[in-house]
Amino acid sequence: MVRYRCVVTHHRLEGARFSFRHRFRLWLTDLDMPDRRGRLARLLRSVHPADHLGDPGRSLRHNVDHFLGLNGIELAGGRVLMLSQARGLGYAFDPITVYWCHDRADRLICLILEVRNTFGDRHCYLVRPDPIGRACFDKALYVSPFFPLDGRYKSRVHLGEDTLRVTFTLTRGAGKPALVATLTGVREPSGAWRDAFASIGNPVAARWTTVRIHYQSWRLRRRGLTLRRRRTHAPQPGVQPRTRT
């Protein structure tokens, strides 16, 4: 795993102008590389299939390939890199996970943008970005309780040698931006002591993400914003275990 120190920034532009930023760590994992660490190390920090798309009884690599196959994409053994938060002491909540999917010649074929909300829903956006990482797609998952389901995302995703940047802009109505969320990250130096320190703090960090989400929701309600009706999310084949084929 490669470790990134990240900052996420949200700017709400519709209804009530509101901004916040948080610092946290993300991990970049090659899904073909087995985790050979000891049991305690994996208990403190791990990437587990049950926290992501597909069948929790299968490997993440199998689940990604299965989802892509259902959508007509075959990587033929090409590598898949996954950017996510890590499970800590059995708990994980990952608002967004990014998968870079390559073919056997190591050409980027597509991205999977896996989004999860606090209501237990999950949706995977399968996108084919342009040469500079841009893509557009319709919103399909109720995320913030203060926005309805309508809207369209403009995204830009960049993974460099030592930095990363992911930007989502939600547009509504006549294409006017309603929300801009930006994630930036810098690769942290590796080393036994550095990795151990990050792993020890990971169980707290894993739960702190959920606490922060609820805290920001509370702040928005205090500003007078009302909750929008939540629709039942239609299961996606290959994403929710109950719909796998």
Q: How many domains does the chain have?
A: 1
Which of 182-186, 205-209, 224-228 has the highest mean predicted lDDT (pLDDT)? 182-186
Residue 235 lies in a domain: no
What does the pLDDT read at residue 244? 37
Judged by phi (left if over 0) then psi (alpha if -120 to 50, else beta), residue 140 lies in alpha
Residue 239 lies in a domain: no
Residue 154 lies in a domain: yes
pLDDT digit string, tens, across residues 140-188 = 998 888 888 889 999 999 999 899 999 999 999 888 999 999 999 999 9
Residue 92 lies in a domain: yes
Strands 134-138 and 152-159: antiparallel
Residue 241 lies in a domain: no
Distance CA 78, CA 155 (A): 24
pTM of the model: 0.93
pLDDT digit string, tens, across residues 76-98 = 999 999 999 999 999 988 899 99
Residue 51 is part of which domain span? Answer: 2-229
Distance CA 89, CA 44 (A): 5
Q: What is the DSSP string of 178-221?
A: EEEEEEEEEEPPP-HHHHHHHHHHHHHHHHHHHHHHHHHHHHHH
